[in-house]
């Protein structure tokens, strides 16, 4: 083939460091896998049954681009209960990543700047690049909290979007309500779109979750079903926010994804009837288990949500320490995958307790150097 066939935007995007670790894991025998960012529990039976019923009832064709009415109506009831006095609309998407891609492509022009907070979810900079924008990284080390002065210093006349997640991947950090309020206020004053990625909304460990959208009706929220219900491969997400923006995103979805998978949308209705509080309590307990097991030998900021811890490597770079972990049959992710810094590494505690204990033993052992 001809090299010039490949677009410049693609050449700027590297293969995910997470995928590289997965490839390394294939060569290991019975690895202790604390790398994967998805729940370890099975999809609840009621949700599986709804998907099977949708197939049997021949609900296998295209749906309207915005999502099937029963799912959109249920989501809107929940959204308008949480955000009273706001006329928010909803769009059902092919996963949360699909919602983010539509949002970037609907709002970011070539040369526009998008603020991201470092560490960041691995896909964020590449979604900005795909849309033709420029990622601008705002450092949050050492405690992974958003410093509003650092943020304001990074703003320029080209700033179009501020994108953040809470709880965050890879750190598990939760943005305090006071900071959410200030972010919403700043975005409103500066005419900047604030996008709040709330895919881990079900897993707040130290109190109820809050949203920046409470303080600014123009905040775009992206969310999904994958993490809360263990259905990451089913690719079901949604976005809610101002009608004009959702309409533009729906227009792009019509000519790209067409619609979210039809069968999965019907299962999403059943998912909204399932109580995930037991799963949330389980991950809170596992968070505490990891902090207790690693806290003496590792520098760790206690995560307030999600199912990750992001320790500082006790020696060497994050990549060097992860290489040693892999030699000892443990799979974790180097922090440089999520950051300009290569000082930390990510552990997913979405695993059985036995697996976590094995991982804790290996990490404590190799920390001594």
Q: What domains appear along the chain, each with residue ranges and CATH number? A: 3-43+276-366 (3.90.1150.10), 59-271 (3.40.640.10)
Q: How far is CA 334 from CA 122, 323, 362, 368, in A?
A: 11, 9, 16, 18
Give the residues across from 334 on adjacent strands: 345
Q: What is the pLDDT along the chain (369 residues), one digit of tens a residue?
A: 888 888 888 877 776 656 666 666 667 788 999 998 899 999 999 999 999 999 999 999 999 999 999 999 999 999 999 998 898 999 999 999 999 999 999 999 999 999 999 999 999 999 999 999 999 999 999 999 999 999 999 999 999 999 999 999 999 999 999 999 999 999 999 999 999 999 999 999 999 999 999 999 999 999 999 999 999 999 999 999 999 999 999 999 999 999 999 999 999 999 999 999 999 999 999 999 999 999 999 999 999 999 999 999 999 999 999 999 999 999 999 999 999 999 999 999 999 999 999 999 999 999 987
Contacts of 2 (CB under 8 A, 6+ apart): none
What would the two tokens of residue 223 be? 């969310």
HSE-CB for 239 with a 13 A CA cutoff: 36
Q: Is 220 helix (H, G, I), strand (E, B) or coil?
A: strand
CB atoms within 10 A of CB 304: 22
- Say what the pTM is: 0.95
Of residues 129, 140, 196, the one with CA closest to residue 165? 196
Of residues 10, 12, 115, 21, the one with CA closest to residue 336? 21
| Alpha helices (H) in the chain, listed in sequence order | 8-11, 17-25, 45-56, 69-82, 95-107, 124-130, 148-154, 177-190, 226-229, 243-254, 262-271, 277-294, 318-327, 353-366
The answer to whether 155 touches 187, Cβ cutoff 8 Å, is: no
Q: How far is CA 155 from CA 26, 105, 119, 208, 268, in A?
A: 43, 20, 18, 30, 38
pLDDT at 8: 83
pLDDT at 13: 75
Contacts of 155 (CB under 8 A, 6+ apart): 115, 190, 192
pLDDT at 138: 98
pLDDT per position as a tens digit, 165-195: 999 999 999 999 999 999 999 999 999 999 9
Given the DSSP bridges, would you call strands 193-197 and 159-165 parallel, antiparallel or unpaired? parallel
What would the two tokens of residue 342 be? 């290569």
């Amino acid at each position: 083939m001809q090299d010039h066939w490949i677009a410049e935007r693609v050449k700027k995007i590297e293969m995910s460091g997470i995928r590289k670790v997965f490839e390394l894991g294939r060569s290991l025998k019975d690895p202790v896998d604390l790398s994967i960012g998805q729940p370890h529990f099975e999809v609840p039976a009621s949700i599986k049954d709804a998907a099977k019923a949708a197939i049997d009832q021949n609900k296998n064709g295209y749906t309207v681009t915005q999502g099937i009415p029963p799912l959109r109506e249920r989501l809107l009831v929940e959204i308008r209960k949480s955000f009273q006095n706001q006329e928010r609309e909803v769009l059902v998407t092919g996963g949360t990543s699909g919602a983010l891609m539509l949002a970037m492509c609907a709002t970011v022009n070539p040369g526009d700047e998008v603020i991201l907070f470092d560490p960041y979810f691995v896909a964020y900079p590449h979604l900005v690049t795909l849309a033709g924008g420029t990622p601008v990284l705002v450092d949050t080390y050492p405690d992974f909290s958003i410093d509003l002065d650092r943020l304001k210093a990074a703003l320029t006349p080209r700033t179009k979007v501020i994108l953040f997640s809470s709880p965050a991947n890879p750190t598990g950090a939760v943005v305090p309500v006071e900071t959410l309020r200030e972010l919403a206020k700043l975005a409103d004053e500066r005419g900047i779109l604030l996008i709040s990625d709330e895919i881990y909304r079900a897993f707040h460990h130290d109190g109820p979750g809050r949203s920046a959208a409470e303080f600014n009706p123009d905040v775009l929220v992206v969310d999904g079903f994958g993490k809360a219900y263990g259905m990451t491969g089913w690719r079901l997400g949604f976005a809610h926010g101002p009608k004009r923006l959702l309409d533009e995103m729906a227009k792009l979805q019509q000519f790209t994804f067409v619609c979210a998978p039809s069968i999965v949308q019907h299962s999403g209705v059943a998912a909204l009837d399932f109580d995930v509080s037991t799963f949330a309590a389980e991950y809170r307990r596992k968070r505490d288990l990891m902090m207790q097991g690693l806290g003496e030998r590792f520098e760790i900021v206690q995560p307030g949500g999600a199912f990750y811890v992001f320790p500082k490597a006790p020696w060497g770079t994050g990549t060097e320490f992860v290489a040693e972990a892999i030699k000892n049959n443990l799979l974790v992710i180097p922090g440089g995958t999520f950051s300009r810094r290569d000082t930390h590494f990510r552990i997913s505690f979405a695993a059985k307790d036995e697996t976590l204990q094995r991982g804790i033993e290996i990490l404590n052992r190799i920390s001594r150097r």
